Structure 1
Amino acid sequence: MANAASYVNAAWEWILSLPRWQGFLLLVLGTVVLAKLVQIGGDLLIRRATKRIPTEVDDIVFETIHPPLYVTVVLVGSYLSVLGLGMAPDTTAQVEALVLSILVVLWALTLTKLGRKVSNELTENSHVDAQVVPIFQNIWSVLVVAVSIYLLLAFWEIDPTPFLASAGIIGIVIGFAARDTIANFFGSIALYFDGTYKVGDYIVLESGERGRVEDISIRSTVIRTRDDMLVTVPNSVLNAARIINESTPERERRVRIAVGVAYGSDPDAVEETLLGVAEAEALAIERPKPRVRLRSFGDSALQYELLCWVNDPVLRGRATHELNTEVYKALRATDIEIPFPQRVVSFGDEQSPEAPLSHGEGVPEAVDD
């Protein structure tokens, strides 16, 4: 390393010893040659490095930063060439600020373009959820622009303090005016990282509304209900609410069919009948197996429950209808009674000696048969 540095210093001193125009031309020529070497060597390295990587993201990155890299080499070489002319320190400082400013603008445009290309690639190939890619793309662009502006101010020795103070005041005003939008923005990020739901999931909200997630944007989530209506809910509300995702971890969902049969019915016959209905239902899956449970002894009936599963939570309503219909038919076919709720009201023929009542208090007068 020390030998290399000594060689570089010796070469630089030799260039400075030449006439200015010769040194300038030599440096410019060396810069062009170096840029060409970077181009040829960079192409070879890019092909070799990207050949083993399956995705197209690496190709996009290398292809995007390759041209500005050539320009950077040329600009730096040109700056060194100008230094060899022996200009005044003030002029040299201005040239340096100009070259650095051009480099900052060049790389800011390159990085912004790179973020847009990478986000489009990720969206098209579904490596990342399409709804969250624009969020990170906008954050990336804002960071690149902010850093670039700060560097430009620093290169030209402009005090950024007044701009920062003004930006702080403007930021506070915008924050109060757009607090709901900002809350929705951060709510969408939180929902994404928590993995609460994704497009296509069937969810149930605290308000009782249920439906399939149709779209997730930076501001809100759109849900299609069972009535085929689109409900738009702000992400800030969903981020703070209790949400039931019926599509995870598995899409299979259980259907419960409550059945009441008369006292005196054969329990084995009831269970066999209900299981036969579940096994014959096309919407009910075989695994897990359907099952029957005697839940309680009701006032008028034995309370059974038929449990079976469907492939998708959207099918629960239709499966419930089909099973209820077939259970009713099956119980009638097997003469298993579904009792009505019964209440017995009796009237005494004799007045109670413990609580005698007069006819005027609303007790009907006894009539002899």
Structure 2
Amino acid sequence: MFTGQSLPADPSAALAEFERTLAALPDWQALVVIVVLSLAVARLVQVGGDRVITRITRRIDGEVDDIVLRGIHPAGYVTVVLVGAYLAREPIGLNGALDLQVAATILSVLTVIWGLTLVRVGRKVSHELTTTEVVDQSVVPIFQNVWSFLVISVSSFLLLTYWNIDITPLLASAGILGIVIGLAARDTIANFFGSIALYFDGTYRVGDYIVLESGERGRVEDVSIRSTVIRTRDDILVTIPNARLNSATVVNESAPDRERRIRIPVGVAYGSDLDHVEETLLGVAEAESLVQERPTPRVRVRGFGDSSVDVELLCWIRDPVLRGRATHLLNKGVYAAFMETGIEIPFPQRDVHVVDGAATVTDAGAGLAGEEAEAVGDDD
């Protein structure tokens, strides 16, 4: 066929020369050539593709590239075989109607294979991303659902085009059906757009500790297109619709940094040495391993109460989940240190004095009188 002739340098010219040579052969020989070449190229793609994929993925960090390349690899050599079957129609000499049906069938099979392959690859990539820190995990479920929707939509459009189905009536029906579905599923749609708004606003992501308006506090376990799941400190999973979270006040204790400041309020008796109190509280914070060295702990005098001087120990912990435990340990440490150093923690006291049948009630704390109230008693 090409004996004694040099192949054209231009690929398009080479393809044209191949077509002319193929057309000069008898139909059965042309059919054999097409089938043999398609199977040979498919085998080459199958074997050579494995080697190329192994060489490429070895140089790239992560598993996403491996998932994508190995996912589309089987569809690649199946595509070569189907393309060979598509080109084999001409040598067979099918009539016009049958030829169109065979061509539409081959293209439909090819479209379905690639559609299923791309959806499957998208799911595997999403699963891989949820187990790593490559991207923000809150966007992964949204990416997976949008990707699947786009692939299925494009595949459906191509299938209708192959079979010459007029989609204009379908679009009109879809418009009416869309209105009906929109009214029936308005909550679902609101949750979907709520999830998108929460992501782009950066409200929270998987792993963050959030506090809701209802007072519930927990770790974000999952963010889907419909709802957000948090695990409370009681190890209970709470599911909240995204539309509700999008319109509510959400406190993210993990942003912008995971370090959180905790407050340990305590009252000391009037007359206490405040410098000594401050030194004692800082010693308690320094001795606690859960307290961060930076920022350094500090003590603030907040005010003068009825029975005590109100003091507050401020210190930082590395993660909001440690707040309860750190508060517990610091309270125990403060109480023990005050008992050891003789610093008094006062409590409200009430003294009753009876003079000539009249009772005088006096609130007092730590030796300091508070407000007084008089009450007239009955003579017995």
TM-score (norm. length: structure 1): 0.79
1:335/1:164 CA distance change after superposition, 3 Å: same
Q: Is contact 2:259–2:320 with CA below 8 Å preserved after alignment? A: yes
1:165-188 per-residue CA deviation (whole Å, 9 max, x = no partner) reads 222222222222122122223333
Q: Which residue number corresponds to residue 356 of structure 2?
A: none
Report how far residue 328 of structure 1 moved: 4.8
Classify the secondary structure of the residue corresponding to 2:119.
Answer: helix
Task: Find the aligned partners of 1:244 and 1:56 in 2 and give their Cα distance.
Answer: 35
Partner of 1:103: 110
Q: Which amino acid aligns with 1:46?
A: I
Partner of 1:48: 55
Say if 2:277 is the partner of 1:266. Answer: no
Select between 37-46 and 329-338 the one with higher mean Cα deviation: 329-338
C-alpha displacement at 1:334, in angstroms?
4.7
Does residue 16 (structure 1) correspond to residue 23 (structure 2)? The answer is yes
Does the alignment pair 1:70 with 2:82?
no
* Matches of 1:237 and 1:327, distance apart in 2: 41
Indicate whether 1:306 and 2:313 are aligned: yes
**Cα–Cα, structure 1 residues 83 and 237, in superposed 2: closer, same or farther, change >3 Å?**
same
Cα distance, 1:266–1:105 mapped onto 2, change above 3 Å: closer
Give, as a single letter, the amino acid of the residue that structure 1 aligns with 2:151. Answer: V
Is 1:174 the counterpart of 2:176? The answer is: no
Query: What SS does the corresponding residue of 2:88 show, helix, strand or coil?
Result: helix
- SS in structure 1 of the partner of residue 157 of structure 2: helix
How do residues 1-369 of structure 1 correspond to structure 2 at under 5 angstroms?
Answer: 3-124=10-131, 127=134, 133-227=140-234, 229-281=236-288, 283-297=290-304, 301-328=308-335, 330-331=337-338, 334=341, 336=343, 338=345, 340=348, 342-345=369-372
> Does the Cα contact within 8 Å between 1:108 and 1:148 map onto a contact in 2?
yes
3-state SS of paired residue (2:59): coil
Distance in 2 (alpha carbons) for counterparts of 1:55 and 1:28: 39
Write the deviation string for residues 328-354 of structure 1: whole angstroms up to 9, x where unpaired: 55446555555646445599xxxxxxx
* CA 166–2 in structure 1, closer or farther in 2 if over 3 Å, else same: farther
Q: Secondary structure at the match of 2:29?
A: helix
SS in 2 for 1:288: coil
Question: Which one-letter code corresponds to 2:21 in the other structure?
Answer: W
**Structure 1 spans left out of the alignment, 5+ residues:** 348-362, 364-369
Deviation at 1:230, TM superposition (A): 4.1
- Residues 1:214 and 1:134: Cα distance change in structure 2 (over 3 Å): closer
Go from structure 1 to structure 2 and tell me whether the alpha carbon gap of 1:2 and 1:167 turns closer, same or farther (over 3 Å shift): farther
Partners of 2:10 and 2:222 in 1: CA distance: 62
Structure with the bigger percentage of strand: 2
Deviation string for 1:204-237 (max 9, x for gaps)? Answer: 1223332333444443233344455543322221
Encode CA deviations 1:245-288: one digit per residue, 9 max, x unaligned.
22334333222233444554433233223333333445434333
Amino acid at match of 2:173: S
Tell which structure's C-alpha radius of gyration is larger: 1
Distance 1:78 1:167, change over 3 A: same
> Matched residue of 1:51: which SS?
helix
Secondary structure of the 1:84 match is helix
Contact 1:131 1:218 in 2 (8 A): no
Runs of 4+, deviation exceeding 6 Å = none
Q: Which residue of 2 aligns with 1:351?
A: none
Once the two structures are overlaid, the 10-residue window that deviates more, 165-174 or 5-14, is 5-14
Deviates more, 1:131-140 or 1:165-174: 131-140
Q: How far apart, in 2, do the equivalents of 1:28 and 1:310 lie?
A: 70
Report the AA paired with residue 108 of structure 1. Answer: G
Contact 1:132/1:218, CA 8 A, preserved across alignment: no
Normalized against structure 2, the TM-score is what?
0.77
Q: Is the 8 A contact 1:111 1:144 kept in 2?
A: yes
- C-alpha offsets along residues 20-62 of structure 1, whole Å, 9 cap, x if unaligned? 2233323333333333333344334323222212333323322
Whether the aligned pair in 1 keeps the contact of 2:211 and 2:252 (CA below 8 Å) is yes
1:188, 1:217 within 8 Å by CA — same for their partners in 2? yes
Counterpart position of 2:353: none
Q: CA deviation at 1:159?
A: 0.3
CA distance in 1, matches of 2:116, 2:298: 64
Q: How many residues align?
A: 350
Give how far 1:150 is off.
Answer: 1.0
Q: CA deviation at 1:321?
A: 4.4
Mapped partners of 1:215, 1:134: distance in 2: 9
